[in-house]
Chains A and B, each alone.
Chain A
Amino acid sequence: MQPGQIISGALHGVFVALVAIGAIDTTPRPLETRAVADVTMISAEMLDAQASAPPQFMESPEAQAAPDATVDQPQPPSADTAPEANIAETVEDPQTPDQAADLTPVRRQPTVQTPVSMDTPAFEQPQDEVAPTMPRVSFDGNERNTTVTSLTPPPPRAAPRIDTTPAIAPPPAAEIAPELNPETAPDSTSTAEPLPEEPVTAPAEATSQIQPEAQPDAEISAQAPELAAVPVRRPRNMAAAAQAVEAAAEVSRRVAEEARVAAARASQEAAIANEAAAIEAALLAAQAEVAAESSQNATLSGPEVGAIAAAVSANWNKQLILEQPEYEQYVVRVAVSIDSFGNVETVEPFEPSAPSGYFLVAYDSAERAIRAAGRLPLPTDRFPDGVTLILRFDPLRGIGFN
């Protein structure tokens, strides 16, 4: 038996089985109804006569049949949706007189495609205070040669690019252009009266835009490599021309290399400076932190300091110090050991460590003040082991001398 026959037999068996169980609808389908139109044949003369005949007036036109309500019934607009106005059907207010069209800008200010750079300026000035400046247009009056388009304000003129990176230092061998206006010492022999100095005010700027034309570039040219300005002379022959071109290229490469090295050096120096500044800032922060920490642990508040100083200064008699010639120099620092109850334990000279002469007089008066003050108002809870005070006695500061 051929495989094809087997397959065919299997498929027919399946078909028979489906038919047997009713899976396949075998009922006959109804016939479709076809629309039938009645056609009347007329001649050509009859058609012409109907077309040229005047229209017939109907005395009572037949009422139009109402449309089927079930068909094409328009849906009412939703309440929250405004009906769209058809712009084409808006009617102008007849009370508003027509305005004459202003053709002046059309005729006088044609849009000229000026070569305006659309690049975002690197340094942008605020533009909203002053109207942008119209670029100057060479107008020849020939309107036919102009392209009239809608007039739009020209885009703001791009500010000149200002590079904020440090200027490239000139190569070491490069000459520095001399100052145009070197400083000169005033003529001492001049007898002319100096003019009174007037307060200088900045000139009022016409625009906030940067005017590149007005920017002095002397400084830039002063730093420019001198070799770059050397012109290449016209060669007499092609070989010389090639050599000249090669020389010029070599010069350009050398200048570029030197500029690159200088830029790298400047960048390196700037990095070092920044690093040093960062280190210094870190050190200051650390010192401040240490100071803050120590102040929390072992220091006195302002009122506490004031109380101790007041107790001592109230007993400090400066009479003998002020007797000394040049007494203001006899400043002494005294080390005072105080126990946790504020009692003075020891008083010793701190600076100078071994006072003599008038310094000894100053120290004695300081020690008397400390001893006479008695128990000092030390916050005992914060200093369980006592404290060492370094008291600085400056005779110049105080009553009538500050």
Chain B
Amino acid sequence: MKMRLTSLFALVIALLAAPLFAQERPVIELDINGGMIEPMNIALASFIPETDGAGDYAANIASVIASDLTGTGLFREIPSTAHIARVDSIDASIEFGDWRAINAQLLVIGAVATGSNGELTVKFRLYDAVTQREIGSGVQLAGSQGQWRRMAHKLADTIYTRLTGQGGYFDSRVVFVAESGPKDARLKRLAVMDYDGANLQYLTDDAALVLAPRFAPNGREILYTSYENGLPQVFLLDVDTGQREVLLADAQNMSFAPRFAPDGLSVVMSSSDGGNTDIYRVDLASRATTRLTNDGSIDTAPSFSPDGSQIVFESDRGGSQQLYVMPANGGEAVRISFGEGRYATPVWSPRGDLIAFTKIMGGRFHIGVMRPDGSGERLLTESFLDEAPTWAPNGRVLMFFRETSGENGAPQIYSVDLSGRTLRMVPTAGSFASDPAWSGLLR
């Protein structure tokens, strides 16, 4: 009996005392409004050369990474002259206070080593200097020393993806039409380069006029239009071997404006038959042709949606040059552009959420985007002549060419992000450039 009373008393005491020990902090909810929109401060500590002869690679790789990141407009590099701390090892602990002192929010450290047989090894780590945590884990890339730029681009893509959640676009290439000579006698040839203009290579000579090259999804083939045989024809070029062929060898009609299907197994293009231009689909394996439009107007510039189910194209069937969407196998086309002016060269975004286009309005040219249903139209650029947009692999940036007016006017390639704030000219080794086409992300 006594023991039972003692237990009961202890229970009562415990119940009464429990709230005292289990006292929780008050919880208060707040809304955070405002904020700021500005590039994040990123510091790239000097990459550590782990072997002799790796110093130049280390510096150059860090420089390319910084260029890639700052070129997005999302990041701002803190120059190395402002650094007050050194990183001596890729595995050393970080004194975040030293980096916060220079207002760095992000920190990249790296190390580069060269091998005796031309190998190159690059390691890096990414830190959040504010939260004092490593973002992701360290990455090591190995390749040949000749691929150091690609390795730098890949590292930049990794950093970009970890910070933004989006896929990168730095390790990609651009094919375009390189132009030279006077305006009334311009020589044109195909060229390919890294997205940032490096590693430019010519793919064709300037014997024949070439237009509108397009990368295959695998990046190994290029479609383009050439006047090599007298009339415009679509050619298929193997980038690795340099071999080219007319897509439809027996065709006697003009064909132009080709573009690969997302699966790379077929091509859509325009073909003129008796003065009527329609859109056709060509199976690459059999070269069988399917007519997708049958209209008395000019239907051209087809572009697949990323899932391959739809095609957007331009047509003047309604009396003016507008954009239409139809099923990939043909069928009823629905007009999606209803703004003022004319619309041309539509290109579906790799993300599928937008369609880029050229807009001609009031004697000025614009690059713009709209949703696939035609809503949300936004114009990103304006100039005397902006034309032929092409999407970056992640759908965040557009390239196009801008031609200046006047007798000495010439085209150049530019890039702009979807906000329209970050407009940059892409270097093309001193040559004029038009009709850019962005590849997918290289593998």
Instruction: Tell me whether B25 and A387 are in contact (CB under 8 A).
Output: yes
Taking the nearest CB of chain A, how far is it from the CB of B135, in angstroms? Answer: 8
Task: Tell me, yes or no, whether B38 is within 8 Å of chain A by CB.
Answer: yes
Taking the nearest CB of chain A, how far is it from the CB of B43, in angstroms? Answer: 15
Task: Tell me, yes or no, whether B164 is within 8 Å of chain A by CB.
Answer: yes
Query: Measured between alpha carbons, how far is A334 from B36 in the docked complex, in Å?
Result: 18
Instruction: Tell me whether A368 and B26 are in contact (CB under 8 A).
Output: no
Chain A neighbourhood of B105, CB < 8 A: 317, 368, 372
State which of A97-105, A230-238, A273-281, A391-399 sits at the interface with chain B: A391-399
Instruction: Tell me whether B32 and A393 are in contact (CB under 8 A).
Output: yes
Chain A neighbourhood of B25, CB < 8 A: 337, 383, 385-388
Q: Contact string, A326-367, partner B, CB cutoff 8 A, digits 1/0? A: 100000010001000000000100000000011011001011
Query: Measured between alpha carbons, how far is A236 from B38 in the docked complex, in Å?
Result: 104
Chain B neighbourhood of A366, CB < 8 A: 32
Instruction: Tell me whether A394 and B31 are in contact (CB under 8 A).
Output: yes
Task: Tell me, yes or no, whether B396 is within 8 Å of chain A by CB.
Answer: yes
Of the candidates A312, A326, A372, A387, the one whose C-beta lies within 8 Å of that of B28 is: A387
Of the candidates A323, A337, A360, A383, the one whose C-beta lies within 8 Å of that of B396 is: A323
Of the candidates B26, B37, B164, the one whose C-beta lies within 8 Å of that of A388 is: B26
Chain A neighbourhood of B362, CB < 8 A: none
Instruction: Tell me whether A297 and B37 are in contact (CB under 8 A).
Output: no
Of the candidates A305, A313, A361, the one whose C-beta lies within 8 Å of that of B163 is: A361
Instruction: Tell me whether A313 and B35 are in contact (CB under 8 A).
Output: yes
Query: Measured between alpha carbons, how far is A325 from B28 in the docked complex, in Å?
Result: 31
Instruction: Tell me whether A357 and B37 are in contact (CB under 8 A).
Output: no
Instruction: Tell me whether A383 and B26 are in contact (CB under 8 A).
Output: yes
Task: Tell me, yes or no, whether B137 is within 8 Å of chain A by CB.
Answer: no
Taking the nearest CB of chain B, how far is it from the CB of A4, in angstroms? Answer: 100
Instruction: Tell me whether B37 and A367 are in contact (CB under 8 A).
Output: no
Instruction: Tell me whether A305 and B35 are in contact (CB under 8 A).
Output: no
Query: Measured between alpha carbons, how far is A364 from B40 in the docked complex, in Å?
Result: 13
Of the candidates A310, A319, A394, the one whose C-beta lies within 8 Å of that of B40 is: A319
Interfacial residues of chain B within 26-60, with CB under 8 A of chain A in the complex: 26-40
Instruction: Tell me whether A319 and B38 are in contact (CB under 8 A).
Output: yes
- Kindly state the interface size class of chain B when it binds its partner: 20 to 34
Taking the nearest CB of chain B, how far is it from the CB of A66, in angstroms? Answer: 109
Instruction: Tell me whether A369 and B165 are in contact (CB under 8 A).
Output: no
Instruction: Tell me whether B29 and A392 are in contact (CB under 8 A).
Output: yes
Chain A neighbourhood of B40, CB < 8 A: 317, 319-320
Chain B neighbourhood of A397, CB < 8 A: 31, 33-34
Instruction: Tell me whether B30 and A323 are in contact (CB under 8 A).
Output: no
Instruction: Tell me whether B30 and A395 are in contact (CB under 8 A).
Output: no
Chain A neighbourhood of B128, CB < 8 A: 364, 368
Instruction: Tell me whether A392 and B32 are in contact (CB under 8 A).
Output: yes
Q: A320-B164, A392-B29 are in contact. Are A399 and B34 (CB under 8 A)?
A: yes
Chain A neighbourhood of B37, CB < 8 A: 317-319, 322, 399
Taking the nearest CB of chain A, how far is it from the CB of B134, in angstroms? Answer: 13
Interfacial residues of chain A within 172-208, with CB under 8 A of chain B in the complex: none
Taking the nearest CB of chain A, how far is it from the CB of B373, in angstroms? Answer: 15
Taking the nearest CB of chain A, how far is it from the CB of B291, in angstroms? Answer: 35
Q: Kindly report which residue of chain B lies nearest to residue A300, judged by CB atoms.
A: B28
Q: Contact string, B129-173, partner A, CB cutoff 8 A, digits 1/0? A: 011100100000000000000000000000000011110000000
Query: Measured between alpha carbons, how far is A391 from B33 in the docked complex, in Å?
Result: 10
Q: Contact string, A45-80, partner B, CB cutoff 8 A, digits 1/0? A: 000000000000000000000000000000000000
Instruction: Tell me whether A313 and B26 are in contact (CB under 8 A).
Output: no
Query: Measured between alpha carbons, how far is A386 from B27 in the docked complex, in Å?
Result: 10
Q: Kindly report which residue of chain A lies nearest to residue B100, judged by CB atoms.
A: A372
Chain A neighbourhood of B132, CB < 8 A: 371
Query: Measured between alpha carbons, how far is A385 from B35 in the docked complex, in Å?
Result: 29
Q: Kindly report which residue of chain B lies nearest to residue A298, judged by CB atoms.
A: B26
Chain A neighbourhood of B27, CB < 8 A: 387-390
Query: Measured between alpha carbons, how far is A59 from B52 in the docked complex, in Å?
Result: 176
Task: Tell me, yes or no, whether A308 is within 8 Å of chain B by CB.
Answer: yes
Q: Output the residue of B29, B35, B38, B351 with the most chain A CB within 10 A.
A: B35
Extra contacts, 5 of them, besides A310-B34, A317-B35, A368-B131 (Cβ < 8 A), are A316-B34, A317-B38, A333-B29, A371-B131, A371-B132
- Interface pairs A-B: 5 shortest CB-CB: A298-B26, A316-B35, A313-B34, A390-B29, A361-B165
Q: List 30 A-B contacts (CB under 8 A).
A: A309-B32, A313-B32, A313-B35, A316-B32, A317-B35, A317-B36, A317-B38, A319-B36, A319-B74, A320-B163, A320-B164, A322-B37, A322-B419, A323-B396, A325-B351, A357-B165, A364-B128, A364-B131, A366-B32, A368-B128, A371-B130, A386-B25, A390-B30, A391-B30, A391-B32, A392-B30, A392-B32, A397-B31, A397-B33, A398-B33
